[in-house]
């Protein structure tokens, strides 16, 4: 099942509207040494992991916001003219990469990027070319599947550290006066990610069962890091659904291998995962791709690291 190829197009009307919203000038005033004069940087990020990574690096030196609000599927997000204006007015714009935020190249082509520092957080990560669904049908005709680059690098704590490095570099390039703070903040946060990585290894390395069934193929990098096998119902985007034939094969596989849990996610519709769980007698449990954490959850201390720990607890139900 081919990955849906989405290209965001910025119309002349949108560009004119965004220009009107932006006004005649940008407030990113810098001194002669290239440092921002204002007390805090204005940083716009795309969706939650980029927001959380960035705020941990920035600390007290920036106001960090996210364009994609909780409850919105990031794969489906398209920015409004107001969102585009926010990007151009920011000191720094942070996004995961072109394979996730497919609308970014068109937006960047429509604005003055001399006034905003753009951070592609996955720029130094070699993305895996992955089929849209890792499950292979046995004893039947295989559907043609198009290879696509998997953008879900943030779900691997090791690769998350690489994204933090890219964000740190972006902040330092704009605000050299606070370089040591950004470096220290990034080091502290990467230590937490290293501890998280160790937790995953300790829990999963010696497991006898390594397979898990998930709603969409978001966990390829996590599975690769810890020697697991991801069996995905949908492809790299949760909007993609398997054919009835593949659903039947998945049902047989789940029943034949006594897989007791099927993982769904909080943002995309869990209908297909729940249907498969009902058909096989498996439990439906949350495994979060961390694409949207509500403000209420954040106020209770839920963040990237806590959600990954929750994911580990969920995986322990079948990876044991």
270-288 in b/e form (b: 16+ CB < 10 A) is: bebbeebbeebebebbebb
**Sign of dihedral through CA atoms 127, 129, 135, 138?**
negative
The token pair that represents 61 in the structure block: 């030196």
> How confident is the model at residue 216, as a pLDDT?
87
Gap between the Cα atoms of 79 and 85, Å rounded: 10
Closest CA to 75 of 277, 261, 294, 265: 265
pLDDT of res. 147: 58
Domains belonging to the chain, first-starting first, are 12-134+147-193 (3.40.50.1980), 203-315 (3.40.50.1980)
User: Can you give the pLDDT at residue 23?
Assistant: 42
- How many angstroms separate the CA atoms of 187 and 315, rounded? 28
Per-residue pLDDT, 26:
42
Cβ 36 vs Cβ 30: under 8 Å: yes
Q: What's the predicted TM-score (pTM) here?
A: 0.85
**What pLDDT score was predicted for residue 271?**
84
According to the model, what pLDDT value does residue 308 have?
Answer: 98
Question: What is the pLDDT, as a whole number, of residue 139?
Answer: 41
Q: What backbone phi and psi angles, to 5 degrees, belong to 258?
A: 50, 45
Q: Where are the alpha helices (DSSP H) in the chain?
A: 12-22, 48-58, 81-89, 104-110, 157-174, 179-204, 220-225, 244-256, 271-280, 295-299, 304-315
From residue 190, give the alpha-carbon distance in Å to each of 153, 163, 184, 305. 15, 10, 10, 11
- Give the dihedral of Cα atoms 220, 195, 48, 223; nearest 10 deg: 10
* Average pLDDT for runs of 10 along the chain of length 320: 42 41 42 59 97 98 94 88 97 97 96 94 92 48 60 98 98 98 98 98 94 92 95 80 85 92 85 90 94 84 95 95
Closest by alpha carbon to 26, among 87, 68, 79? 87
pLDDT for position 146: 52
Cβ proximity of 184 and 295 under 8 Å:
no
Tokens of 78: 């398209």
pLDDT of residue 238: 73
Pairing of strands 211-216, 147-149: unpaired
Residue 70: what pLDDT?
82
């Amino acid at each position: 099942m081919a990955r849906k190829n989405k290209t965001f197009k910025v119309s002349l009307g949108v560009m004119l509207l965004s220009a009107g919203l932006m006004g005649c000038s940008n407030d990113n005033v810098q001194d002669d040494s290239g440092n921002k004069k204002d007390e805090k940087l204005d940083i716009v990020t795309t969706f939650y992991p980029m927001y959380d990574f960035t705020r941990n690096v920035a600390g007290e030196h920036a106001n960090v916001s996210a364009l994609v609000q909780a409850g919105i599927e990031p794969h489906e997000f398209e920015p409004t003219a107001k969102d585009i204006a926010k990007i151009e007015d920011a000191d720094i714009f942070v996004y995961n990469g072109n394979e996730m935020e497919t609308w970014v190249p068109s937006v960047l082509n429509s604005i003055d990027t001399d006034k905003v520092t753009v951070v592609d957080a996955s720029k130094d990560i070699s993305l895996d070319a992955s089929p849209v669904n890792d499950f292979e049908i046995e004893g039947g005709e295989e559907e043609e599947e198009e290879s696509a680059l998997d953008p879900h690098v943030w779900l691997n704590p090791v690769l998350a550290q690489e994204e933090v490095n890219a964000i740190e570099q972006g902040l330092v390039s704009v605000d050299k006066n606070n370089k040591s703070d950004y470096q220290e903040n990034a080091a502290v946060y990467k230590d937490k990610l290293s501890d998280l990585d160790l937790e995953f290894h300790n829990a999963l390395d010696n497991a006898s069962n390594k397979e898990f069934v998930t709603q969409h193929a978001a966990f390829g990098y996590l599975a690769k890091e810890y020697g697991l096998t991801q069996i995905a119902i949908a492809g790299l985007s949760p909007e993609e659904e398997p054919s009835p034939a593949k659903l039947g094969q998945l049902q047989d596989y789940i029943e034949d291998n006594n897989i007791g849990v099927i993982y769904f996610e909080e943002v995309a519709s869990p209908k297909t995962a729940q249907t498969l769980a009902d058909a096989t007698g498996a439990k439906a449990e949350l495994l979060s791709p961390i694409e949207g954490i509500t403000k209420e959850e954040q106020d209770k201390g839920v963040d990237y690291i806590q959600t990954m720990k929750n994911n580990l607890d969920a995986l322990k139900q079948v990876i044991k």
